[in-house]
Structures are given as C-alpha cells and as structure tokens.
Chain A
Amino acid sequence: MGNSSARPPAPSGSGTGRARHLSRRSFVGYVMGGTGLVVAADLALGSAPAHALPIPSVPQVPEVYDLNDFLTHCALPTSQLIAIHVDEQGDAHFALPRMEVGQGITTSTSMLIADELDLPLDRVHVTLAPARPELLFNQLTGGSNTTISTYTPIRVAAAVARRALLEAAAIELGALVETLVVKGGTIFDSLGSSLTYGQAAALAAPPTTRQVRVSLKTAAEQKVVGTPQRRVDALDAVTGLKKYAMDLTEADVPGALPTMVCRAPDLNGTAREVRNRAAVLAMPGVTHVAVIPTGVAVRARTFGQCIDAVRALDVVWNAGSVPGRSAADIRKELRRAQLPLAVPKIGATTVEGDFVFHFRSGSALEPNCAVADVRDGGATIWGGLKSPVDAQSKVAKALGLPQRKVTVNVVQGGGSFGRKLFSDAAIEAAHASKAFGVPVKLMWHRADEPRQGRVHPMATSRVRATVLLGSVVTFEQRHTSVSTDFTHGLGERLTAEVAALPTGLANLGFSETIFLLSQELPYNFGVVTQLLNESNQDVDRFNTSSVRNIYSPDVRTANELIVDQLAARLKQDPVEFRRRHLKSRTVKRVLARAAELGEWGRPMPAGTAQGIAIHKEYKGATAVLVEIDCRPETVHRKVRDAVTGPRVTKAVVVVDCGLVVNPLGVEAQMMGGFSDGMAQALTYSNHLVDGHFLEASWDNSAYTRQWNTPFDFRCEVLESDRREPGGIGEAGVAASMAAVACAYARATGTMPTEFPINVHAPLHFEPKPFVPSVPASPVDGLDHVN
C-alpha cells in the first residue's frame, strides 16, 4: 500500500494541472487502479498560487504574506499525491509526509481522516512516510506548518475514499449513493441492509485510476475536528512500547550495534590521529574504531562500552572553529554588525533598550541519533528526521552515492525544537557504517549535545522608540544575530522559489527573508522598522538551527519590554496601552481574555508582580499573563542541585490559532511553549568560554524543571473567526518568554537586558572536563534508590 501507489496519474483531458481546486468546497481526487482501495489527493490542494496574492507594500510583510504562506506555497510546484489505503478490515492507513516529534500531528491527522471518512479514530492508522524525493520541499516539518498545509489535501483524500466506498456499496446493495448512511465504518441502506468498509473496499478498487470529485464536510458536519482527543500514541508512550530510533533492535536491523563518537575539546574540532587504536579495540565489547569527519567513532556491544572506549581514546585534535573565543567576543562582533538606527536619540522623547540573547542548546531529550546500514553500494537510514529528502541528499553526498541508492526511513522523534531539521546524526552514522563496513546504531552522548550540537544563535536587539505629544511616532528594531543555519532544505527551496516571492523579497538572504516573513510588530507605532543583520555570513563556525520559534522569542521579548516602558512613559496601564495600540482584533481579543482570566491588576505583594505580553504569528495570536515571585526567600529557596531563582507562580495562556483540530493538543503545545519560553527568560543558556561551550548535561543546562514550574497553569483556546487552521507547535514560546521578562522587570523595578537573566550569575556547576569528551558512567546508583 501507500507510497508506491501514490504516483500522479497520467494527465487527463482536463489538463495536467494544478487547477484541481474547482470551487470553494469541491475538490478532485483519485481512486487508484489496482487491487485494494487506495485513494489519493494532491498535497498542494487548498493553497492559492503565490502570485495570486496581493503584493504587500505596507510596512510589515507578515500581515499579508507570512512564513506560513511561503511554506504552504512552496508545496505547489511539487504537487504530488498523498494516499489513503482502506484495508480488508475497513481500517484506513495513511503515511504522513511529515515528522511526529511530540507536536501531535499523527493525532490531528487521524482526526481529520476519521471525521471525513466516518470511521472511529482507533481505526485510522497514521505512520510516517519515508523520504519521498519527488515531494521536494513538501516533506519538511517546520514553521508550525503541518496542519496549515495538509488540512485540505488530507480531508480530500479521505472524502474520496468515503465516496468510493459508498459507490461500491450502492452497487452491491442495489441502492442509490444518496440514500446510504455511514455509522462507525459500516454502510447502511434505507432498508437496514449493510456492508462494512472492509467489504466495500474489496469491491471499490477500479481496474484503472479514475478521477473523483468530492465535497468536504462543513464545519457543522464535522464530529471529530474541534473535539478534545487524547493522543493516538499515548498508550504506547505510557507502557514503554513507543519506538524511537534507538529502540530499533536486532530484529529490526540485524547487526546495528551501539556506536558513539569521541569529539574534540574545541567546538567543531576534528581528529588528526588516534594514538591508541589497538588498545581501544581490545577493550571489552569494542568491535570497531575509526576516524570520521566529526571525531572518532567507536562501535561496541553496548553503549556503556562505547562510553568507556570514548573515554579511553587518545586522540590528537585539530583546533575548532572558534578557538579562544568567548561570548564577550561574539557580542562585540554583533555590535559591529548592527545596522544603524534611522531616528536620532532625542532627549526625553526617546525610549530605548539594548538587549543581549545568549546561545542556548536546541537539544531534545532524545539525543541526536540514527541507525545506518551502508553496504554493497547502497545505504539505508532510520532516524527522527524532519527533512528526510534533504537527509537523503546529504547522506548520498557524504558517501559518494547517487541519491536513489539511499533509503531514509522516518522514525518518530523524542522531541525536536528545531534540532531534527538537520540530519547530523544520520550523516555521522552513514560515515561510521561506511568506515566499519557494518550497520551502526549511532547516538550522541548527552555531553555532546550542548557542547557540539545545534544552538539558538546568540543575538542582540536594539530598540528605539520615539514619543511625541502623547503618541508613539517611531519604533525601530535592529536585531543582530550569529548566522542561523537554514541549509536543511528550506534554504535550497528559498533559492528555487525566489521568483515566486512578493516583490522586494527576492534579493534578501535566507535569514533576512525568514525574518521579514515571520516578524510583525502588531502595534500602531507610527513608522515601524524591524531589520535583521547577521554578524557572520557563514554557518560553519557555530552549529545553529532555527530553534523553536526562530527569531520570535528574542524579538518579542525586546519589543514587549519596550512596550511596557512606553506605557510607563505615557502613564498608562500596560494592558490598556497595548489595547489602544494593537492593530489586530484577534490580538486584542486574546489580550483581553488573558487579562480577565489572570485577574490583571490584582494587588500583589512587593517583590512579586504580574507581566503580560502578546504575539502574532502562525496565522494566530497568543497572549500570556504570568505572576512572578522575586522575593529573596523564593529566589534563594533550596532544592538539591537545582537552579531556582525567581519563581513564576502562575501562568495564563490564551490563544487564537484559527480553526482548532484538537484543543487538547493545542493546550499541550502552549504548555510546552511556555516551559520553553520561561527557561529562555530565566535560566537556560550555553556559556561560550575559550572556544567551547561549558555546559555538558542536564545538571549544567538549566532547562525548566518541576521546581521552576508554575503552581497554576491555565490555557484557554478561543473560538476563532478563522475557518482555516493556524500553527501551534511554536506559537506559545515568544509571548511566554516576553511575559516572564516583563513580570520580572515589574517585580524588581529593573528592566532586564540580558537573557537568560542569570547568565552572569556565578556558574552553578563545575564544568566537566573536555578531554575525555564524555563523563564517566557513575557506579553509585544504589546510594540514590528511593
């Protein structure tokens, strides 16, 4: 079933094309010829061509054409088919050309199919499609774009399946299609005779592919979409049965033994020579040792023995990509690269801020990992990959193989946060497997993750606003960042699609384009300019990625802190000031509701305060209200080996994300986005010192933990005016970070200008050694049994 059947049918008389979108709710799909019922729809359905959009001339591009429009329109030139297979039991199967990393798209996709097909949710089985090179950009999971771009085509495919099943049943039952009803995957005629979907599927497959025209259900007819549904993989998750790449066993890939890489002490250092290869090969369990481009790979019976071998290796290292450099040096670079502000500073009329956002790791809890089998002139990869076509191409290039000789299987991922857009571990695993001549199961040690893994680039943001006669007349922002690596398929696509972009965008670099397409200051502040510059136009010095929500958390935090300053300058309440200046009704609604739910303005003890912030992106808007406790007894509370500090005691997130497929999933993403944003405001960073990052594990990287979590977290998903879905995976981060920063400023009376706020506090840890590159496995676990 599935992908091999999902080839575009030969062009029919109606043209080859794109214009399958016949009317607002009538679409064409295909019933594929052959045995078994396979139906298909064009993955680009539902998107208007890019050139049909008005060309924006207003100051802020995202108001009319944003990153999600770009991502959605990138689907058009590829316009390939996605297929649903209905099996002999009447269950539906769909291989989603996107990557599940926890954001809930297998659940929401199942819901779309179940609803349109009138099938119970547990009879819809969504898997992840392997790399399909013909899909090009349309198999990249990013920008919170999955539901936005697949909402229509998936429903069309399901509607085609339902139509085909009904037509087959009508013939069998001797009834008209219009008289048939479907209940839970069984088709009934008006006399009570019935046929199951399984029975109908066996009759429904035509000898040759044919076109079918279908209408989609209206909102009123949808029974599943919009209802809270628990995740389809929840049972597997709580019983330990959910399989990630490293859970593939001997039965899945025979001979794929544990493999780890010994890495250089410097960021991006490389191995020159191994001095004790024979001794390490003689260690218990060790089977192979070889130099690969990113270090020295070792393969052993267990990962524990890999760790021992990595620690025993005696390697001569070449210098890294930023030898001797520290965060202060990078900050100077950023200052030098900052674009000038246009409006001069004019005494008491100017409100300004100068902010620094430090590096932070984009690591998920599942480390970088992949299984690779490179033998006999071909390669097979298994991994949690959000850009599998790019992975296929890069693995092929690394191995000197044609792309068609590389198979990339997509496995569910243990989180992503931007990390899994890149295929670093897959490429490494391919190198190691090639060097060893045997399959490998390669995993990064946790210590490698913050030290050598991809990070959110360090950035500065300079904001200057001018107030004249009680009004804000200018608002300028100059965001300066270490280069963000977009070379995971998105960058290539931008090059290819550049002609399709609205006028004025075509000449910008990748990063500037993304910045311009995603950043919007949704306030009426007179003349608004927001510009990005990057301090180094290469992506080889630092390993960066478009970490969850890309530029927005930093940009928004700088914005909202200044908005609070402007409100104070004009002696207005922060909520009232925002309400008066916001352009968008949607943003005003989420703000008002957050203020109401969070009891904005309630009396708070000294040293504690509320903070509020808004954000508009991903076809929706969020408002976050928090209460923070910065009193000394709280800041200095003791939890063993914990970074405590100010405690956010309460958080309220209100979101309008357009049409909601699964409200329970939206709330989950807001909760996660909040944990992420709060960490970036208060505790979570990478310290660059002397050419390498100091942090080496979760005891060093102070990501949000239970001791930082608000006692009271509430999320409300508003009924939206929009009938199309927005993006949710990243939408919660920016306003959360900004609200925490604003609350901290109000509680302490001092506007923070460096993030996280504890970045210059004495280190809470003793940095682990850089040689060996990974720490020893402890032996004292029995002392901590409880």
Chain B
Amino acid sequence: MAALVKEIAFETSHVNGMNLHILQTNKFKTTTIVVLIEQELSLQYATKTALLSLMLKRATARFPESKKLREHLDFLYGAVFDADVAKKGERQLLQIFMEVPNEKYLSESSSVEEQAFQFVGDVMARPYLENGVFAEKFLTTEKESLRQRIESVMNDKMRYANQRVTEEMFKGEPYAISVNGKVEDLAGITAQSLTDYYKELISENPIDIFVVGDVDRTRIENYVKTHITPERKAVKKLPVANESKQVQEIREVVERIDVNQAKLNIGARTNTTYKDDDYPAMIVMNGILGGFPHSKLFINVREKASLAYYAVSRLESHKGVLMMMSGIDANNYDKAVTIIKEQVEDMRQGNISETEMNQTKATLNNQFKEILDSSRLMIDFTYNGLLTGKKRELEELINQLNQVTVDDVKRVAAKVQLDTIYLLRDNKGGA
C-alpha cells in the first residue's frame, strides 16, 4: 500500500553551541529559517518567555528603531519575520521565523540569504539594550501588547473554550498554563529581570536552528558561525515533563457568557504519547473517531442528528490529550454528550467497519505525505522527534499506521479516560 516515501533528511551539525539542521531542496522558491528555543512550561517562566519574544522582535542593536527594522525587512524583498511562543505538551518554545526569496528567482543579484542569517543573529544575540538592559519605553508597549493578546482569546469562542477546558482539566499540572502566560504577572516584570532571563535562556536552554531551501550546506554553516553568536554555556537539562495522571471521576463544567452558539468540549487523557509504541494506533483511533468528515463524530453528530456544523476530535501527542469539540444549540447538550460518549464506547468495543479503517488509513497516508510539501511541517515533524527523544522516520511511521488493526484500536481506546466535559453557553436558557 505504501508507495516509497522520500525521507525528511535534515543534516545536523553543532555550531556555536546550538544544533543546526539543514535540508537542501529545490522545491521552494524561498529559504526558511526557524529557530526553536526550548523551555519548561511553568508559571515561573511562561509570561516572561512570551514577553521576551515580543521584545526581541521589536528592536535590535543594529536597528534600534522599529521603523528601521521593518524597513530593512521590506528591503529584503518583504522577508517574513516573526518571533512568538508555542506550546508542545509541557514545553514552551520561543520560536523565531524568517523566510526570504531564493536569490535565483530575483532579477537583480543580492545577498538576501546572508542578510537573513545576519538578521536572525541580531535578534538572538544582539538585542537593543539601554545601559545593559531592555529599553523601558519598549517594555511598556510590549507589556500592553501581550496583555491585549491574552485578553483577545475571548474574541474567538472556539479558542476560548479550548483554553478554558484545558485550564479546568489540568488544574495543578503545568499543561494548564497558557502559552502567553498571565496578565497578573506583567506588572512584576522589570527591564532588569527580563534581561537577566534573556541571558539565562539564550545561554543555557536547548537551541535548534532549522534551514530549508535550495541552499549550500557549507555556506549556511559559515553564515550561522559568523552571525548567530549568542554566548553559550553547557546546555541545561530541563525537568521531566508530561507526567500522567489517573482520572478519578468525570467533571462537568458549565460557563455562561453572551454567545449564540454553545461550544461543547470534552477532554480525555489518552495515556499514550509520541514516544510510545501505541502512538500510531492512537492516531488511527483519533482518525476513526473524529479526525475527518468520514469519522464517527461527523457522521453521527452532524450528518445523522443534524446537531452541529462541526464535530471533531483532535489529538495532542506530547501531553496525551484527546479533545472532542462541537458547536451546538445549548438545548441539545444532553443529546450531544450521549452521542459523543456512544462513539467513544464504540471505539472501545471495536465497532469499527473495514471501510472506516481503510478510509482513515488512506486519509492519514495522504496527510503524512503532505508534510513533504511544506518546510514548516517538515521542521515540525523533525522537531517532535528531537523533543521527545523518539526519532521517527516518515516512511516507517506510515507503514506502522497501515498495519494498525481493530484490536490495536480497541486496546488504545481502552486507555482513553474521559476527564472533563465543558460547556460554554449563553446566559439565557435553563440549567
């Protein structure tokens, strides 16, 4: 069944105390650079890391004014540049992203490639400081910016419901922490404390640099060596993350705000993560349950019962979370919960048709092969292996998915424990 899949073959070297991974390909008309700095997800750091990402992209020693910095990026043919934070299980990542056109598609010759590396180096190693610390004037605006970002989660009700169910379900565990941290922390962060934190993070935490494009490996290594030069010490070992926890009883949480459509999120613990042998079976399980428009949730909640426009499940494989989500009329809450629970039970019983199994595998094959068409997805796939210590080859993983049986799905479905049923609903109707 599996056609031969090209492997995602990054070549790795160690430069200036960081890991450099280069993938040479002529598929894309641009060169992509992604820097990932790994941090534990904790109350101590979360807000600081998020704020730091904003400060780093605001100004550098070479471009002390944001206007000049942005003009320089425009000059590099509208280079895409961003710095932000991401969450993978109980890790917070500070990521720097840069993409520039490959010089061979430009009509005039230029040094865009080298300048891109110089710029990334500026951001990481040569920030704009005044008297040795981050500038107060920028700190004030970026704190405000972060506050607004945290508060605007409310604007997107799906995201808000997702954040709230995560907070409820993982109370007391690091995974409950939002990737952008908390508004309450902002006041306590000073230019000095943030600068100290920056120095600590950039010198001790694991740093991986990914480069994808039609590039020459030796040349790139030289650019990194010359331009990306943070002061590095021995790499710090981060504490163990993603400890599992047994569910005592299923909790129900109802929250009321001014909305038209209710959001029903049911969170479950999979007790299976990326590094486990059961990972491929769990992916297939999620696919049959709610990953696609042929899946049980879509067919039964939407197509048969006509209760929702969306009814899906999503897997988070670092912490091991299965989230089932649907947008319903609040009056149909009981009906929807019953149908969703029935679908999970069907998975445990192995009530899975051959068609469901084949469709899911075929679609997953497609999904995983599509990774090869995107530099960001190839980087993400490779980084998952580094982060979990379980390096997976794409072809091997696809083969494993194709070999999953109904018994395997039953086995992993039995490990899935429903944890929290969360409903975000309007202020009007009854309880």
A binds B: no
Residues of B at the A interface (CB closer than 8 Å) are none
A residues contacting B by CB (< 8 A) are: none
